[in-house]
Chains A and B, each alone.
Chain A
Amino acid sequence: MKTVKVYITLKQGVLDPQGKAVQESLNKLGFPEVHGARVGRFLELQVDEHADIDRQIKEMCAKLLANPVIEDYQYTIEEGVAQ
């Protein structure tokens, strides 16, 4: 079994009103050094060992996990199941 960690982020150039609200809140909390924030999504998948796992993950991202119109994704594959 492998643990696949998928990170989904809004594409460059796509406005992120949620990120902007987070940035403004951090500024108000006394962190003026924050000049930008982007909110994304993190998924952790437990996946069977498979020689073709890269292709499978890319297909999962394209078909469901990310929306290619507005989102990019990255992933890492780790040994074993995360506790």
Chain B
Amino acid sequence: MKFAVIVFPGSNCDRDMYHAVTSSLGEEADLVWYEEANLSGYDAILLPGGFSYGDYLRSGAIASTSHVVTEIKQKADMGIPVLGVCNGFQILLEAGLLPGAMLRNKQLKFMCHQEKLVVENNQTRFSSAYTTKEAISLPIAHGEGNYYCDEGELAELEANNQIVFRYANNPNGSVADIAGIINQQGNVLGMMPHPERATEAVLGSSDGLKLFKSVVNHWREAYVAGV
């Protein structure tokens, strides 16, 4: 399976993402500079964390207007899996690929620590290797991770089981303890915690690896004969 890791000016988790895929997971990946918007030949697209365009205007706002995001929208429409982590999640929200928006953390602090999460929905291609309600620990590192959506949107997210991860101890004020959501089609996931920073025991947690394994398992079942 071949992953594209999109690199924007200001991305800083791109190499972590690349390492998680190529070393921890053992699959292929390329770092793709955002201006080289040719995503054909990739089986999945990863939007890494960081501070694209210095978080100017709003986190992810400028990156969401780039040509590569238009191409990512087309790929998403075709069913290609897209994962956005941290700033990648913010870009997906700004691009309208996922509903809602990010506000500054409730305490106005940039927070960088391990956070306990609950897997709310393990019936997705990003979470099938987890058990439902599994308690996991992933690092967070953000100043604007306070997820917001209105009540109608929240009801829709709940009704469609689009909330994939919730915080066990909400660190940032997110609506309904939301840490990660998926689109209705089930192929675009955005999350603030960093699974790519938790793929080996030596990193403090390997709980993030199951997310990437879920993606690979789904792809093999769908596209590789005889598996």
Contacts and interface: CB of A to CB of B under 8 A. Distances in A.
Interface in A16-40: 16-18, 21
A17 B174 CA distance: 12
B57 A70 contact: no
A51 interface: no
Given A65-B57, A67-B101, A17 B108 contact: yes
A63 interface: yes
Given A63-B65, A67-B61, A17 B100 contact: no
Contacts of A70: 101, 103, 148
A65 B62 CA distance: 10
Q: Is the interface of B mostly helix, strand, loop or mixed?
A: loop
B106 interface: yes
Interface in B78-95: 93-94
A69 B93 CA distance: 10
A18 B104 contact: yes
B108 A18 contact: yes
Output the residue of B57, B62, B99 with the most chain A CB within 10 A: B57
A1 interface: no
A44 to B, nearest CB: 14
B24 interface: no
B107 interface: yes
Contact of A69 (B65, B107, B149): B149
Given A21-B108, A64-B61, A64-B65, A69 B173 contact: no
Contacts of A69: 93, 99-101, 148-150
A45 interface: no
Contacts of B101: 67, 69-70
Contacts of A15: 103, 106, 173
Interface in B50-105: 57-58, 61-62, 65, 93-94, 99-101, 103-105
A39 B77 CA distance: 37
Interface string A62-83: 0111010110000000000000
Contacts of A16: 103
A16 B173 CA distance: 11
A8 to B, nearest CB: 9
A14 B108 contact: no
Given A16-B103, A18-B104, 5 more contacts: A15-B106, A17-B107, A17-B108, A69-B101, A69-B149
Interface of B: 57-58, 61-62, 65, 93-94, 99-101, 103-108, 146, 148-150, 173
11 contacts: A14-B103, A17-B103, A17-B104, A17-B105, A17-B106, A41-B57, A63-B65, A67-B61, A67-B101, A69-B148, A69-B150
The 10 closest A-B pairs by CB, nearest first: A69-B101, A70-B101, A67-B101, A17-B106, A17-B108, A17-B104, A21-B108, A70-B148, A67-B58, A18-B104
